[in-house]
Amino acid sequence: MRSTLSRASAHKSDLVAKLRAAGLRPTRQRIALCKVLFATGDRHVTAESLHGEAGKAGAELSLATVYNTLHQFTSAGLLRQVIVDGDKTYFDTNTGDHHHFYLEDQAVLMDIPGDTVRIDGLPKAPAGTEIERVEVVVRLKPRG
Amino acid sequence: MRSTLSRASAHKSDLVAKLRAAGLRPTRQRIALCKVLFATGDRHVTAESLHGEAGKAGAELSLATVYNTLHQFTSAGLLRQVIVDGDKTYFDTNTGDHHHFYLEDQAVLMDIPGDTVRIDGLPKAPAGTEIERVEVVVRLKPRG
DNA sequence: CAAGGGTTTTAGAATTGTTCTAATGTATTG
DNA sequence: CAATACATTAGAACAATTCTAAAACCCTTG
């Protein structure tokens, strides 16, 4: 609750602290993107959609910067990359352990709420490898 | 067993039958690709890799044809498309219900053997939608 | 608070995987 | 074997993403 609240009401200084903690300089552009990304609850964005939103919010920045920033945030653990579509890459502000619904029809990603999903019977990782993450994608289609 | 056997030792006439059954004309190119795809057990290919293999096997065909054919085979239910990497699209000759290991490091896909994997606790599909498929991807990294 | 040095940002070019196009070639049907 | 419908092709076009080199910036130091 506490963290949700502070997230939702994030002040500029919080965002600056967040960036510093991640080892990233708090530039105008990064702060603007943080604002859009972390102001509300969990979100899913693409580079293009985020660029558009930032623009509408009055922040002029180049698409290249959005790409750079998304990758920096991802390496810093502030975002997670989600691949469900060959065309575009999604970034999820929810970095916790969770899974996704994907509505192919509309190219819409949704978190699967809670940690209720349990996966049993996975074989162990092949020799020389180890499991990095288990991802479940539930592909949806319009009912009818 | 029977089907595995006939698959492994597929004669040209079998492949022609397979194509006809799928409603596809048995052209030289499609037969060549079938040969490469279905001669051995389950496989994972990309358009590029399949094009390369077909070439080595003496079949000259254009990359565009490989793309066309992969999509036709997919709609016909002969292949399944697997998306685990933003860059390239994989096609899997195993169309049954199963999941995947993905070695990001080497861009290698592997089937998760058997139908031992069980997923519990999935919420029901959002209103107006229904589940088309549930995909599990286990991302692997080199052990270190 | 001005200057300097390492980051960042940027516009545009380059790259990559894939799809489109319009001309040519091939399987099928009668 | 002619007619017709479907397939193949090379290359152009495309969309998402990455690269590049130059300009702008942030932040420390003097």
CA distance linking residue A70 with residue A67, whole number of Å: 5
Whether A6 has a pLDDT exceeding 50, the answer reads no
Q: Average pLDDT in the A44-64 region?
A: 96
Burial A74-96 (b: 16+ CB within 10 A, else e): beeebbbebbbeeeebbbbbeee
Mean pLDDT over B108-113 rounds to 92
Give CA torsion, residues B28, B51, B108, B111, to 10 deg: -10
In DSSP terms, which residues pair with B101 in a beta bridge?
A: B110, B138
Per-residue pLDDT at B15: 87
pLDDT given for residue B109 in this prediction: 96
The Cα A54–Cα A34 span in angstroms is 10
- If you measure CA to CA, which chain A residue comes closest to B109? A126
Contacts of A104 in chain B (CB under 8 A): 132
What digits encode the pLDDT tens for the residues B51-108?
999 999 999 999 999 999 999 999 999 999 999 999 999 999 999 999 999 999 999 9
B30 Cβ contacts chain D strand, under 7 Å: yes
Q: Are residues A119 and B118, on separate chains, in Cβ contact within 8 Å?
A: yes
Instruction: Compare all CA atoms of chain A with the CA of B85 and give the residue at the minimum distance.
Output: A83
The answer to whether B134 faces chain A, any CB pair under 8 Å, is: yes
Instruction: Quick: pLDDT tens for A77-100.
Output: 999 999 999 999 999 999 999 999
Q: How far apart are CA B73 and CA A98, in angstroms?
A: 33
The Cα of A12 is separated from the nearest Cα of chain B by a number of Å equal to: 33
What pLDDT, in 10s, does the model give residues B22-48?
Answer: 999 999 999 999 999 999 989 999 999
Residue A130 touches partner B, C-beta closer than 8 Å = yes
Pairing of strands A108-112, A99-103: antiparallel
In chain B, % of residues over pLDDT 70:
92
Measured CA to CA, the distance from residue A56 to residue B18 in angstroms comes to 54
Chain B partners within 8 Å of A133 (Cβ): 138-139
User: Hunting for tokens 């965002």 — which residue is that?
Assistant: A15
Cross-strand pairs, B57: none
Residue A66: HSE in the Cβ half-sphere, 13 Å Cα cutoff: 22
Read off the tokens for B89. Answer: 């699209």
- pTM here is 0.91
pLDDT at residue A7, rounded to an integer = 44
Name the nt closest to B23 by C-alpha to C1'.
D6
DSSP for A28-64 reads HHHHHHHHHHHSSSS-EE-HHHHHHHHHHTT----HH
Res A116: pLDDT: 86
